[in-house]
Amino acid sequence: MQDFTLDDLRRVMRASVGVDDSVELESDIADTEFTDLGYDSLALLEIVAKIDKEYGTAIPEDAVQDLTTPGKLAEYVRGRLPGAVAS
Amino acid sequence: MNALRVAVTGIGVVAPGGVGRDAFWSMLTAGRTATRRITFFDPADFRCQVAAEADFDPAAHGLSPREIRRMDRAAQLAVVATREALLDSGLDLDAQEPTRTAVTVGNAVGCTMGLEQEYRVVSDGGRKWLVDHEYAVPHLYDYFAPSSLAREVAWACGAEGPAAVVSSGCTSGIDALGHASALLRDGSADVVIAGSTDAPISPITLACFDAIKATSTYNDQPDTACRPFDAERRGLVLGEGAAFFVLESLEAARRRGARVYCEIAGYGGRANGYHMTGLKPDGREMAEAIRVALDEARLNPEAVDYVNAHGSGTRQNDRHETAAVKATLGEYAYRVPMSSIKSMVGHSLGAIGSIEVAACALAVAHDVVPPTANLTRPDPECDLDYVPVTAREHRTDVALSVGSGFGGFQSAIVVADPEAVPA
Amino acid sequence: MTAVVTGLGVMAPNGTDTEAYWAATLDCKSGIDRIERFDPSSYPVTLAGEVSGFDPADHVPSRLLVETSTMSHLALAAGQMAIEDAGVVPAELPEYEMGVVTANATGGVEFGQRELQNLWSGSPSDVGAYMSIAWFFAATTGQLSIRHKLRGQCGVVVSEQAGGLDAIGQGRRLLRGGHRMVMVGGTESAMSPAGLVAQLPGHLSRRDDPARAYLPFAADACGYVPGEGGAILIVEDARRAAERGAAHRYGEIAGYAATFDPAPGRGRPPTLRVAMERALADAGVAPADVDVVFADAYGVPHLDRAEAEAISAVFGPHRVPVTAPKSMTGRLYAGAGALDVVAALLSIRDGVVPPTANVTEPAPDYDIDLVVERPRPAPVSTALVLARGHGGFNSALVVRAAQD
């Protein structure tokens, strides 16, 4: 079954929006706010669009503003993967 | 700074819902909206399917078949508005020294419609990265380099003075008039044909705004899709259009007995140096731009009779500019009417600043302020007098118009009845 | 108010910093070569002045890289150099007294083509979020303002190749209005297949020998080679620059004027000459005071002729050295004027007029003293820089040695 881990998210972030020089993406970023990692609202939209494209998740616009950390986003994406059980 | 006073002696407007100055003004004062489901192309695949399109027939407005073929729609709108402004001013440009007549054209996104159309042709509908030059039309370069817009306006009025496009995104329409005023004040020109134009309603522009979720999704209610300051707002609605002005010194205008609509009394531009699209909630730089414009006009905040809002229809903007206006006008902000005509004519990017200045000039001329259409459920955080739904008779000697755009640019301009400005 | 240039930043096809560009220019080393950014073999034009030694990642943080196009990468790199050269620390100065004015002619071209392709070969949702801020003409000014926290009045001028000078002229206006410092100039990059094809209807040279393709003022001139790059300058109110002890004073922006040519068929003369005369008058200098003219140098016979006639009408035949270092970069559109101003300022600094490359002599009926083949040592205290934009834009700018 398809999964979406923090590493998958790291890969998408690297490929689509780059990494701030002062940020170590490999560190424990799950609970760090995207803004503290140097990602603004446009970057988040770009990340979400790339995930939607690759995973067919169709994340609703209204949900994005609450997905403020990589951990929350990855968990949300997992819940929308095909075959995921609604929690 | 030179004390030369800049008079507006001619106005031409092509806007959604009204081609021509009078049609534009009657539409605004009727509170009528021109937003509708897009007809220029099939918008079915887009997130936002609404825009404010102008019903504009270039041939009916005097453009020759050659001009129509050569010009992108943005140029066509500009030339028609320029001709109306010139006619309105009664100024005989042939009697002026041509190298003393300048042209300043505000524009944000160039000749997008023509460029995208021709891109599709040379790329075989987007299939080829190595596009095919055999299919390139001769005027492709004019679409590619929007300096062609200034050229068309200069040709339309025979101007040979300084000519340029001012392209600072969504504040271009205000910044072009600030630039034009500076040309008169520093002696670079005696007359400036100034204004702005944009015709951005094309798939690529719509897709850009889709991608950042900035546009309204009221696809099922297109005529009320743009709702500035309303709690139910969902974003901006793209528009198109042009407004041009004949600017000359107040002294010269009076000498030739011209009708003076108003003067451009002050201009201010600041940048937030913060984010390309994000706005600081406190509206600091917009407030600073307003202060600079009022200072240049030598007017107190209490002299402002009407504020023409940026009012794009996004929550971020509405709160930002409400804060900025409160910061500069203080308690008085609650007593001055402030409205957004974007609720009716949409957001025509680089053009809207000049279209809004045209609305301000006509408000000064007629002592009526246009309303904010579709404002029926006010956002509690936006608590100023936004003139909901219905135009209002209101003595207007001094009007302030503000703009905010990508890049962080914040601009403000003050137009005034010359009698209201300290000599 | 005297406007003095205190910092320079250059990104040119023949040099990716100020001194490298200047050394190459004096050495007649051209940056024009076969296009490498994409395969040009199917096009009638295969040469360009690409900034080939430039890796944007060396100059622009990766987060910023993804949201900007090449034109902005070049400007961010040049802007950083200029501000370091000037020694300006914006955080120490009043934020609203520093502005940015850049010129741009064609937008974020390769970025735009990529996203247009995403849209038309895919769907609207394939267009990325950064298209909205990377493609438009104001992208560079906005990014420079944000990067350096310059929060005063900003602006963007579009007048094709004349724009670089117009941006500097507008910057001087801001200083007169009370700003203390402006970052001005322009960069351009139209190096994508669609960008090149869009330029084909113009006057591009179709020769494929880099040494014979762009020969301004030569009898066998045959069009121009397009280039990318440009320059960013820091210009300050001279009094403010002195107060903060600015390390460099490369020269003053002493005069500026712009005109537009009459519409075809009006039977009126072109107006470049008027722009030159007004710029000289603005600077308060006589033609005889000018030590060198940096020509617009279209490389198109009728346009070269018009410029040569305007120069000899103002100065007299063969009375002033004329040069075109852009023969080594190609025409950089909005980047050209600012780069030529840098060359003019370095001429003043080093007392040398750079050459026009690949041209051995001007066409015999042009009455100009064209500096060719090698640099000409000469004291330079005043230089006139010319720029023309497609469609009829003319701009002229006078720089002169900083006065004490």
SS3 of residue C353 by DSSP: strand
Do B277 and A41 make contact, defined as CB atoms within 8 angstroms? yes
Q: Decide: pTM greater than 0.90.
A: yes
Residue A87: pLDDT band with limits 50, 70, 90: very low
**Residue A62: CATH number of its domain:** 1.10.1200.10
User: Residue B327 pLDDT > 50, yes or no?
Assistant: yes
**Residue B302: CATH number of its domain:** 3.40.47.10
Residues A21, C59 contacting (CB under 8 angstroms): no
Is the residue at A87 inside a domain?
A: no
Mean pLDDT, chain B, whole residue set:
97
Query: How far apart are alpha carbons C26 and C352 in whole angstroms?
Result: 9
Whole-Å CA distances, C247 to C10, C85, C171, C350: 18, 8, 21, 17
B347 among known catalytic residues: yes
What is the structure's pLDDT at B303?
98
Do A61 and B275 make contact, defined as CB atoms within 8 angstroms? no
Is the residue at A38 inside a domain?
A: yes
What is the structure's pLDDT at A23?
92
**Residue C18: CATH number of its domain:** 3.40.47.10
Residue C53: pLDDT band with limits 50, 70, 90: confident
Is the residue at A12 inside a domain?
A: yes
**Domain containing A56: what range?**
6-19+29-80
Q: Does B408 touch chain C (CB under 8 A)?
A: yes
Residues C221-265: pLDDT tens digits?
A: 999 999 999 999 999 999 999 999 999 999 999 999 999 999 999
Residues B162, C132 contacting (CB under 8 angstroms): no
Looking at CA atoms only, how far is residue C189 from chain A in angstroms? 22
CB neighbours of residue C1 within 10 Å: 12
What is the structure's pLDDT at A85?
60
Is the residue at C248 inside a domain?
A: no
Question: CA-CA-CA-CA torsion for C239, C244, C248, C249, nearest 10 degrees?
Answer: 0
Query: How far apart are alpha carbons C35 and C41 in whole angstroms?
Result: 9
Domain boundary among C243, C273, C293: C243
Q: Where are the alpha helices (DSSP H) in B189-281?
A: 203-211, 250-255
B275 among known catalytic residues: no
Exposure string of A31-55, with b = 16+ CB inside 10 Å and e = fewer, is eeebeebbbbbbbbbbbbbbbeeeb
Q: Which of B111, B226, B262, B310 is catalytic?
A: B310
Q: Which residue has the tokens 């710029």?
A: C279
Nearest CA in chain C to A38: C63
Nearest CA in chain B to C157: B166
User: Residue B423 pLDDT > 90, yes or no?
Assistant: no
Is the residue at C184 inside a domain?
A: yes
Query: How far apart are alpha carbons A13 and A45 in whole angstroms?
Result: 11
Is the residue at A34 inside a domain?
A: yes
- Average pLDDT of span A5-17: 95
Nearest of B312, B71, B112 to residue B206 by alpha carbon = B112
Query: How far apart are alpha carbons C130 and C113 in whole angstroms?
Result: 13
**Measured between alpha carbons, how far apart are the two ends of chain A, in Å?**
17
Residues C169-184: pLDDT tens digits?
A: 999 999 999 999 999 9
Do B145 and C160 make contact, defined as CB atoms within 8 angstroms? yes
Is the residue at A76 inside a domain?
A: yes
Strands of B35-37's sheet in order across: B35-37, B50-52, B238-239
Mean pLDDT, chain C, whole residue set:
97
- Average pLDDT of span B348-356: 98
Is the residue at C249 inside a domain?
A: no
Q: Does B166 touch chain C (CB under 8 A)?
A: yes
| Structure tokens that stand for C156 in this block | 């963007």
Do B276 and A41 make contact, defined as CB atoms within 8 angstroms? no
Residues C190-199: pLDDT tens digits?
A: 999 999 999 9
One-letter amino acid at C121 equals S
| Residue C172 shares a structural domain with residue C312 | no
What is the structure's pLDDT at B1?
46
What is the structure's pLDDT at C296?
98
| Residue C168 shares a structural domain with residue C260 | no
- Average pLDDT of span B154-175: 98
**Domain containing B248: what range?**
6-111+146-418
| Residue C235 shares a structural domain with residue C258 | no
Angle at which helices A70-80 and A6-17 pack, to 10 degrees?
Answer: 110
| Residue C225 shares a structural domain with residue C283 | no
Half-sphere exposure (Cβ direction) of B291: Cα atoms closer than 13 Å: 15
**Domain containing C10: what range?**
3-243
Residues C109, C71 contacting (CB under 8 angstroms): yes
Q: Does C160 touch chain B (CB under 8 A)?
A: yes
Q: Which residues from C are below 8 Å from B147, CB to CB?
A: 105, 158-160, 163, 389-391, 393
Q: Which residues from A are below 8 Å from C66, CB to CB?
A: 16-18, 46
Domain boundary among C184, C213, C243: C243
| Structure tokens that stand for C87 in this block | 């020694």
| Residue C238 shares a structural domain with residue C264 | no
Q: Which residues pair with C388 in a beta bridge?
A: C394
Query: How far apart are alpha carbons C240 and C88 in whole angstroms?
Result: 11
Is the residue at C156 inside a domain?
A: yes
Is the residue at A86 inside a domain?
A: no
Do C133 and A43 make contact, defined as CB atoms within 8 angstroms? no
Whole-Å CA distances, A53 to A2, A59, C304, C332: 15, 10, 53, 38
- Average pLDDT of span B109-125: 97
Q: Where are the alpha helices (DSSP H) in C156-226?
A: 163-176, 193-199
Is the residue at B88 inside a domain?
A: yes
| Residue C207 shares a structural domain with residue C308 | no
Is the residue at B402 inside a domain?
A: yes
Domain boundary among C219, C243, C267: C243
Percent of chain B at pLDDT > 70 equals 100
Q: Does C63 touch chain A (CB under 8 A)?
A: yes
| Residue C159 shares a structural domain with residue C233 | yes
Nearest CA in chain A to B278: A41
User: Residue B211 pLDDT > 90, yes or no?
Assistant: yes
Helices (H) and strands (E) in chain A, counts: 4, 0
Nearest CA in chain A to C62: A18
Q: How many domains does chain B have?
A: 1
Q: Which of B48, B111, B157, B170 is catalytic?
A: B170
Is the residue at C23 inside a domain?
A: yes
Q: How many domains does chain A have?
A: 1
Is the residue at C33 inside a domain?
A: yes
Looking at CA atoms only, how far is residue B278 from chain A in angstroms? 8
Q: How many domains does chain C have?
A: 2
